[in-house]
A and B are shown apart, each in its own frame.
Chain A
Amino acid sequence: MTVAEIFETMEYGPAPESSSLALKWIEERGGDGRLFINNEWRAPSTDEYFDTINPASTRPLARIPQAGSEDVDAAVAAARAAQPGWWEIGGHARARYMYAIARQVQKHSRLFAVMESLDNGKPIRESRDIDIPLVARHFYHHAGWAQLLDSEMPDQVAVGVVGQIIPWNFPLLMLAWKIAPALATGNTVVLKPAEFTSLTALLFAEICEDVGLPPGVVNIITGDGRTGELLVQHHDIDKIAFTGSTEVGRIIRVATAGSGKKLSLELGGKSPFVVFDDADLDSVVEGVVDAIWFNQGQVCCAGSRILAHEGIAEKLTAKLRARMETLRVGDPLDKGVDIGAIIAPVQLEKIQELVKQGTEEGATMWQPSWSCPQEGCFFPPTLFTDVAPSSTVAQVEIFGPVVVLMTFRTPAEAVALANNTRYGLAASVWTESVNLALDIAPRIKAGTVWVNSTNLFDAAAGFGGYRESGFGREGGREGLYEYLKPSWERGQTIQESASFAVQPDKAGRREGPPPIDRTAKLYIGGKQARPDSGYSVQVRDARGALVGEAGRGNRKDIRNAVEAAHKAAGWARQTGHNRAQILYYLAENLAARSDEFARRVGNQQEVELAIQRLYTYAAWADKWDGDVHHTPLRNVTIAMPEAMGVVGICCPDAFPLLGFVSLVMPAIAMGNTVVAAPSERFPLAATDFYQVLDTSDVPGGVINIVTGVRDELAETLAAHDDVDAMWYFGSQEGSATVERLSAGNMKRTWVNYGKGRDWADRQQGEGPEFLRHATHVKNIWVPYGE
């Protein structure tokens, strides 16, 4: 094209970013990757390599080693050996290393960006302006947390050795999200990048070497799912952090069940993008571009379901179609390209298949008039209208540049549609009304809500899911706890801690007529209920003497209790002050009957502590504040702790009253409703307690009590897909079962692996640890400016 011709047409021309230095980097290393273990570069023990391709051309870029079990062992051993030293050098030294890493990332930013675009296919604009700057930011921010750890989290210690498995959509950024918080908190890591995208991880390993990071602190092993499995199964790993599909996350949940490995999972999504009729529609259109045509739509939190108010849907559709026409798909290294290459042929086929299915199911598909490059893995931006929630394309995570549009009439309907999904990763809400935005944001079940914006990320804000989008947070103060544990846990052993005193004998022999028989019932929806089974279990004291009977709850009782708990969901919308009032009232009424409870549990001290604990959570009910995060954007990022929903709680045998109170009260103080299985051996303190509930204005359904065989009840609760979280304090086997069965709906679990906890001890028996388990943090981004 001549200048004169272009002067007439005013078309765009090619604007390629050079790949020569990145290709030279690969060439200088002989075209083969190495494993980075203990600061040494090793060939894989398997002698196996596989190609990593450039998805824009489908031609190979380099060969990547397939790490085998010897390599995984070596990497974990190196990390294990390095961990105590890495903790002991202290926060300031760790901060210096991490600051150096951040600096190195910036110094080599373009090499990282080009390498990322070559290997992953994302447009150079994104790798250059978004991914790599966020990586540096993540290390800077967490260098700061390393510096502050001692003073900010004095009662916490590193988890230990962390196995980290990351996806291919943001290769280096996900590495940063994983490694930065782990290192800041004194953990050492073994990280496996996705097999499609290992190159920037290897470049990162060189940086670790360059800054003199102690050997073993960061180990990078490459390979496919087999390597990941070896890492997940490794006996000497203390925690697994995974980002990827819900399908694989579920496998990991099952595989690690009962192992005691701490787990954080950031999984799939089908995030709603809600557009109200008072939104700035031109800005909404750009929001959709950033939501679903960012990174080819291969974004776990992509706004892939547009929910538009019926009154503006047609106008929005027209604007979207016009905008799609001006998007540019092509060479990821072209600086004027919006949409690059799909990661691999297999992913492209999956997208094509789902789009075909969407059309076959009757949805209207729209794509721009221009066509994609023939060579390489490309797919055009695609919009589906005439879509119903029942359409496959409205339910399934497509992980491609495909968005569906549905309509709603009212805010309530918008919320219902937004929440009509198994996922809960993110949401966007578009309206010019602050009233509406701040009303809707808390009602959408998602870990991140962006108001009038989308796909904003920052190290200072937590990111993570609700529901089957996983659990745990990355970023912000809330993300650090994924890599920490209470320092007292270091000495924890596998045994039940003891109560204050043995259970009393049945009331001593009396003169005159026998005492009146008492029937302990289940307590469901604020009413006493006989067990569905019609069976009872005998309750014996510590010496084996019969002291009474408790109902043997079964599946149906659990079902009823969960339903009752859901009906009481309004509890979460009560003010903290109101919940506090009720908790104080509970303490007051328990105190009034303390002698009776003392006789039941055999000592006065446990009752006294239970009263104190009620006070503790009454106190916390209106004080478990969120944060306003300092994200580098003109906005307010509100990190809001929210109730989990319905929490199943299996209480320990030790401290039949105090254990029950210590678990149930933090849960309800935060707005959850509870289905509690009290101590199996000594359930009568809990069944006595429902009379206290009755007299203390606790709304029916907020606390439901089902007695019976703990592990039977636990199984039903763990396998219940409408239970949002599950706490289990019982045996090692029971803990494993709960974790395994929780994989059904990926509910968050808290189990004790059969280990004891001193419920009478304030550090172990109450406080922020409990409240963190009782809530998850939602980050609401509210940009502002007129």
Chain B
Amino acid sequence: MATAINKVQRALRIGHAAHPEEGRNPGMPLDLGWVRDVRVNTSAVERRAATIGTRRTVKKEWQAAWLLRAITCMDLTTLSGDDTPGTVRRMCAKARQPVRHDLLEDLGVAHLPIRVGAVCVYHTLVATAVEALEGSGIPVAAVSTGFPAGLSPFPQRVAEIHASVEAGAREIDIVVTRAHVLTGNWEALYDEVKAFREACGDAHLKAILATGELGTLRNVGRASLVAMMAGADFIKTSTGKENANATLPVSLVMTRAIREYQERTGHKVGFKPAGGIRAAKQSLEWLLLMKEELGSEWLRPDLFRFGASGLLTDIERQLEHHLTGRYSAAHRHPMA
């Protein structure tokens, strides 16, 4: 038992302390032949995605444990125009203590460091968040590069990364120029992401593909691959601002691209679905998808994150239900 806990703590430390450099995806030269070879059969992908949540399920203790894991993979996020230092500090407090202590005790996990994977804010609030999270080990992620449209001048976008890293962000969620994907200009996409990655330095780069604006799953597959070739540490579905958010079919295409990239290069790239994930049940579906397609290694925060703002509350309610057998209410749980 003690060893098990140690292992858990070790795993979480790795998760929070940004994975070791030697494990980081260094990228590779753009391989256009590989990019053009990408095949995605949309209807087959949809059929597989539709059975992810019907072929597997977790109940009782398993469900509780998986939901706790979901919390640790969560990028607790606020990206609103009316964010203030006050709301961000409140969210950071929630990030440190995402679940009521009595619930953790009753679940028998009070000894485990149950904290969110990261806190994700706009650049302006990075410093506030870094300060609020000091000593927690929780990294701050900044959305960047002209988020969400990514259409501000290129030097400005690069400068934004520098500024956020300077301010203490350890993860940078960049957005790609959708036009490069839509016009098949893979060289431009590659150069862009590669430049962003260089600007990040030691901070980890999450490449938001804005899949809701890429038109086809094949484009999603190709863009995923190019972003990984350019050195992305994570590939991420959405900004949360597109018309279509993260979906299971899109996620399936991206996770398969990650698998293929690992098989060919040996490098592991993380995955982050974002936008519209609000229910505990949804979070389980994504965890199931990760475990099925990529294996349990991708169920840890160094390789998997949810971008979410409302998800945590529902998970807390489910955890309480698991313990009491009574359906819970949102107001019973401290808000972020």
The chain A residues found within 8 Å of chain B, CB to CB, are: 1-15, 125, 129, 278-283, 286-287, 290, 326, 335-336, 338, 432, 452-453, 634-635, 783-786
The chain B residues found within 8 Å of chain A, CB to CB, are: 1, 4-5, 7-8, 11, 39-48, 51, 54-62, 64-66, 68-69, 107-109, 111-112, 216-218, 256, 259, 287, 291-292, 296, 299
Instruction: Name which residue of chain A comes closest to B257, CB basis.
Output: A282
8 contacts between A and B (CB under 8 A): A3-B109, A4-B65, A11-B296, A278-B39, A286-B44, A338-B55, A635-B43, A783-B43
- The listed residue (A2, A286, A335) touching B61 by CB distance below 8 A is A2
- The listed residue (B46, B107, B296) touching A10 by CB distance below 8 A is B296
Q: How distant is B320 from chain A, measured CB to nearest CB, in Å?
A: 13
A278, A280, A783 — which one has the most chain B CB atoms within 10 A of its CB?
Answer: A280
State whether A8 touches B11 (Cβ < 8 A).
yes
On chain A, the residues within 8 Å of B1 by CB distance are 5
How far apart sit A635 and B58, CA to CA, in the bound complex (Å)? 33
On chain B, the residues within 8 Å of A4 by CB distance are 4-5, 8, 65, 107-109, 111-112
Q: How distant is A328 from chain B, measured CB to nearest CB, in Å?
A: 8
How far apart sit A11 and B295, CA to CA, in the bound complex (Å)? 11
Q: How distant is A98 from chain B, measured CB to nearest CB, in Å?
A: 28
How far apart sit A496 and B145, CA to CA, in the bound complex (Å)? 89
Q: How distant is B223 from chain A, measured CB to nearest CB, in Å?
A: 15
How far apart sit A725 and B107, CA to CA, in the bound complex (Å)? 70
How far apart sit A641 and B111, CA to CA, in the bound complex (Å)? 69
State whether B41 touches A13 (Cβ < 8 A).
no
Instruction: Name which residue of chain A comes closest to B218, CB basis.
Output: A786
Q: How distant is B296 from chain A, measured CB to nearest CB, in Å?
A: 5
How far apart sit A1 and B64, CA to CA, in the bound complex (Å)? 12
State whether A786 touches B58 (Cβ < 8 A).
no
- The listed residue (A10, A125, A287) touching B44 by CB distance below 8 A is A287
Additional A-B contact list (17), CB under 8 Å, known A13-B62, A125-B54, A452-B44: A1-B61, A2-B108, A3-B64, A3-B107, A5-B1, A8-B5, A10-B65, A10-B296, A14-B59, A15-B58, A129-B54, A280-B39, A282-B259, A335-B59, A336-B56, A453-B44, A785-B46
How far apart sit A783 and B69, CA to CA, in the bound complex (Å)? 37
Q: How distant is B254 from chain A, measured CB to nearest CB, in Å?
A: 12
On chain A, the residues within 8 Å of B109 by CB distance are 3-4, 7
How far apart sit A739 and B112, CA to CA, in the bound complex (Å)? 75
How far apart sit A156 and B89, CA to CA, in the bound complex (Å)? 78
State whether B39 touches A432 (Cβ < 8 A).
yes
On chain B, the residues within 8 Å of A129 by CB distance are 51, 54
State whether A3 touches B68 (Cβ < 8 A).
yes
A282, A286, A635, A784 — which one has the most chain B CB atoms within 10 A of its CB?
Answer: A282
A7, A11, A432, A784 — which one has the most chain B CB atoms within 10 A of its CB?
Answer: A7
State whether B59 touches A282 (Cβ < 8 A).
no
Instruction: Name which residue of chain B comes closest to A128, CB basis.
Output: B54
State whether A3 touches B58 (Cβ < 8 A).
no
Q: How distant is A216 from chain B, measured CB to nearest CB, in Å?
A: 40
State whether A280 touches B40 (Cβ < 8 A).
yes
Q: How distant is B306 from chain A, measured CB to nearest CB, in Å?
A: 15
Given that A12-B58, A336-B57 are contacting pairs, would A283 and B112 also be in contact in the complex, using a CB cutoff of 8 Å?
no
State whether B43 touches A785 (Cβ < 8 A).
yes
State whether B65 touches A785 (Cβ < 8 A).
no
On chain B, the residues within 8 Å of A281 by CB distance are 39
State whether A452 touches B43 (Cβ < 8 A).
yes
State whether B59 touches A13 (Cβ < 8 A).
yes
On chain A, the residues within 8 Å of B8 by CB distance are 4, 7-8
On chain A, the residues within 8 Å of B60 by CB distance are 13
B40, B41, B107, B216 — which one has the most chain A CB atoms within 10 A of its CB?
Answer: B41
On chain B, the residues within 8 Å of A786 by CB distance are 42, 216-218
On chain A, the residues within 8 Å of B48 by CB distance are 283, 286
Given that A7-B8, A10-B299, A12-B56 are contacting pairs, would A432 and B41 also be in contact in the complex, using a CB cutoff of 8 Å?
yes
On chain B, the residues within 8 Å of A8 by CB distance are 4-5, 7-8, 11
Instruction: Name which residue of chain A comes closest to B68, CB basis.
Output: A7
How far apart sit A335 and B56, CA to CA, in the bound complex (Å)? 6
How far apart sit A7 and B104, CA to CA, in the bound complex (Å)? 12
State whether B43 touches A6 (Cβ < 8 A).
no
Instruction: Name which residue of chain B comes closest to A432, CB basis.
Output: B39
State whether A10 touches B66 (Cβ < 8 A).
yes
Q: How distant is A539 from chain B, measured CB to nearest CB, in Å?
A: 62
Given that A280-B41, A432-B39 are contacting pairs, would A326 and B292 also be in contact in the complex, using a CB cutoff of 8 Å?
yes
Q: How distant is B180 from chain A, measured CB to nearest CB, in Å?
A: 19
Q: How distant is A559 from chain B, measured CB to nearest CB, in Å?
A: 46
State whether B112 touches A783 (Cβ < 8 A).
no
On chain A, the residues within 8 Å of B259 by CB distance are 282
On chain B, the residues within 8 Å of A336 by CB distance are 55-58
State whether A3 touches B44 (Cβ < 8 A).
no
A1, A11, A279, A786 — which one has the most chain B CB atoms within 10 A of its CB?
Answer: A786
Instruction: Name which residue of chain A comes closest to B42, CB basis.
Output: A785
How far apart sit A286 and B112, CA to CA, in the bound complex (Å)? 37
How far apart sit A369 and B82, CA to CA, in the bound complex (Å)? 54
Given that A13-B60, A336-B57, A786-B216 are contacting pairs, would A5 and B43 also be in contact in the complex, using a CB cutoff of 8 Å?
no
Q: How distant is B108 from chain A, measured CB to nearest CB, in Å?
A: 6
State whether A283 touches B296 (Cβ < 8 A).
no
- The listed residue (A3, A335, A784) touching B65 by CB distance below 8 A is A3
- The listed residue (A2, A11, A283) touching B45 by CB distance below 8 A is A283
State whether A5 touches B292 (Cβ < 8 A).
no
State whether A453 touches B58 (Cβ < 8 A).
no
Q: How distant is A455 from chain B, measured CB to nearest CB, in Å?
A: 11
- The listed residue (B47, B62, B68) touching A286 by CB distance below 8 A is B47
Instruction: Name which residue of chain B comes closest to A278, CB basis.
Output: B39
On chain B, the residues within 8 Å of A14 by CB distance are 59
How far apart sit A432 and B221, CA to CA, in the bound complex (Å)? 15
B55, B57, B59, B108 — which one has the most chain A CB atoms within 10 A of its CB?
Answer: B55
Q: How distant is B257 from chain A, measured CB to nearest CB, in Å?
A: 10
How far apart sit A278 and B218, CA to CA, in the bound complex (Å)? 13
State whether B69 touches A10 (Cβ < 8 A).
yes
Q: How distant is B117 from chain A, measured CB to nearest CB, in Å?
A: 14
On chain A, the residues within 8 Å of B39 by CB distance are 278-281, 432
State whether A7 touches B69 (Cβ < 8 A).
yes
On chain B, the residues within 8 Å of A283 by CB distance are 40-41, 44-45, 48
On chain A, the residues within 8 Å of B44 by CB distance are 280, 283, 286-287, 452-453, 783
How far apart sit A281 and B40, CA to CA, in the bound complex (Å)? 9
B7, B40, B62, B111 — which one has the most chain A CB atoms within 10 A of its CB?
Answer: B62
On chain A, the residues within 8 Å of B11 by CB distance are 8
Instruction: Name which residue of chain B comes closest to A123, CB basis.
Output: B55
- Leading 4 A-B pairs by shortest Cβ distance: A283-B44, A6-B65, A13-B62, A783-B43
How far apart sit A569 and B298, CA to CA, in the bound complex (Å)? 56
On chain B, the residues within 8 Å of A13 by CB distance are 58-62
On chain B, the residues within 8 Å of A3 by CB distance are 61, 64-65, 68, 107-109
On chain B, the residues within 8 Å of A326 by CB distance are 292
- The listed residue (A2, A125, A452) touching B41 by CB distance below 8 A is A452
On chain A, the residues within 8 Å of B46 by CB distance are 785
How far apart sit A280 and B39, CA to CA, in the bound complex (Å)? 5
How far apart sit A11 and B61, CA to CA, in the bound complex (Å)? 11
